């Protein structure tokens, strides 16, 4: 039975989290002795060449539903297409990335397919005990192991939990004809407002974040310079936004934005539990803090003990130099 993978896109490109979902499906197929991994992309915004490149991550075939109404990511319409694709391809397993679109789509497809659903999955299933998946809960502080008992299964994979497979070859992209009615498009995005020229924090692959250790808003230039050379978004701790040093939409943590970038650089942030709750899904955490006892170092992959005002400009210059 083929494994189906739902591909999400943003601004005309396949999302990295969806490429990870394909890699996950590929590794799972190898475990199960399955040969076919079918990726399905909805809408017509992603160029065919990019879709074909999903073969590098393990897809054996790509289906595209080129209905431009699907570019908007309407939950009901996406679920209708994936339900039809599972039926037509005979897939018993749907893999997708856990996301604000992936989760509700997965729930709807699970109802239509009477499938077992698990989200926020961080490891390949254990097939020795049936089909047991490991899920991250409490913002990465704990895990649960869940046995999926139904024949049909839907797996939403957590961002950055899977290594990206890169050694495959491009594959053919075929058209998939889905039957959709106006009733499937019961929601329409009428307007998108996006901060010009900024990397959006929730989507960012790299985040440079500052805390009270930055002393004041006038010192944020050095963090913005670092973010610029890295193509990163900027974030901050709660007190920083409460004091009006930075806008509230940059506040990261339990009561702010939860991020899961590949790299989170925390500068002058102590690492209170409420801040960590928003960042501990990051793949790598780098902490720059002058206090070697700062709690953030316990959650860090790499730490620099020292004065941010010395270290950050040097880091920025070193990255610039390495790019030249």
Which positions touch ligand FAD (CB under 6 A)? 211-213, 237-240, 253-256, 268-270, 272, 274-275, 278, 288-291, 294, 307-309
CA-CA distance, 297 to 53, in Å (whole number)? 38
* Region of residue 306 (left: phi > 0; alpha: psi -120 to 50; beta: else): left
Question: Is residue 61 within 8 Å of residue 89, measured between CB atoms?
Answer: no
Burial class (CB in 10 A: 0-12, 13-18, 19+), 137: exposed
Burial class of residue 141 in the structure, from the number of CB atoms within 10 Å of its CB (0-12 exposed, 13-18 middle, 19+ buried): exposed
Distance CA 193, CA 132 (A): 41
Q: Which of 1, 19, 92 is nearest to 56 (CA)?
A: 19
Which residue in 36, 34, 62, 35 sits closest to 49, CA to CA? Answer: 62
Rounded distance between C-alpha atoms, residue 98 and residue 121, angstroms: 8
């Amino acid at each position: 039975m083929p494994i189906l993978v739902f591909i999400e896109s943003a601004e005309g490109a396949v999302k990295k989290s969806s490429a990870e979902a394909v890699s996950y499906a590929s590794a799972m197929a190898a475990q199960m002795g399955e040969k076919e991994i079918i990726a399905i992309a909805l809408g017509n915004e992603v160029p065919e060449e990019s879709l074909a490149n999903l073969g590098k991550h393990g897809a054996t075939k790509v289906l595209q539903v080129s209905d431009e109404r699907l570019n908007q990511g309407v939950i009901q319409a996406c679920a209708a297409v994936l339900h039809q694709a599972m039926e037509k391809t005979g897939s018993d397993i749907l893999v997708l990335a856990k996301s604000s679109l992936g989760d509700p789509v997965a729930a709807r497809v699970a109802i239509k397919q009477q499938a077992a659903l698990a989200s926020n999955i961080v490891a390949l299933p254990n097939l020795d005990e049936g089909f047991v998946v490991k899920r991250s809960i409490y913002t990465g502080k704990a895990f649960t192991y869940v046995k999926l008992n139904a024949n049909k299964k839907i797996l939403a994979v957590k961002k950055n939990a899977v290594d990206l497979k890169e050694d495959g070859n491009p594959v053919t992209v075929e058209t998939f004809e889905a039957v959709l009615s106006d009733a499937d498009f019961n929601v329409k995005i009428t307007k998108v407002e996006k901060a010009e020229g900024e990397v959006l924090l929730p989507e960012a692959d790299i985040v440079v974040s500052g805390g009270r250790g930055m002393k004041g808003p006038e010192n944020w230039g050095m963090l913005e310079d670092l973010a610029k050379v890295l193509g990163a978004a900027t974030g901050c701790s709660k007190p920083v936004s409460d004091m009006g040093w930075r806008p509230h939409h940059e506040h990261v943590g339990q009561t702010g934005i939860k991020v899961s970038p590949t790299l989170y650089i925390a500068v002058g942030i102590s690492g209170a539990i409420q801040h960590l709750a928003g960042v501990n899904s990051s793949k790598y955490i780098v902490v720059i803090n002058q206090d070697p006892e700062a709690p953030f170092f316990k959650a860090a992959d790499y730490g620099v003990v020292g004065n941010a005002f010395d270290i950050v400009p040097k880091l920025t210059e070193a990255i610039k130099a390495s790019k030249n």
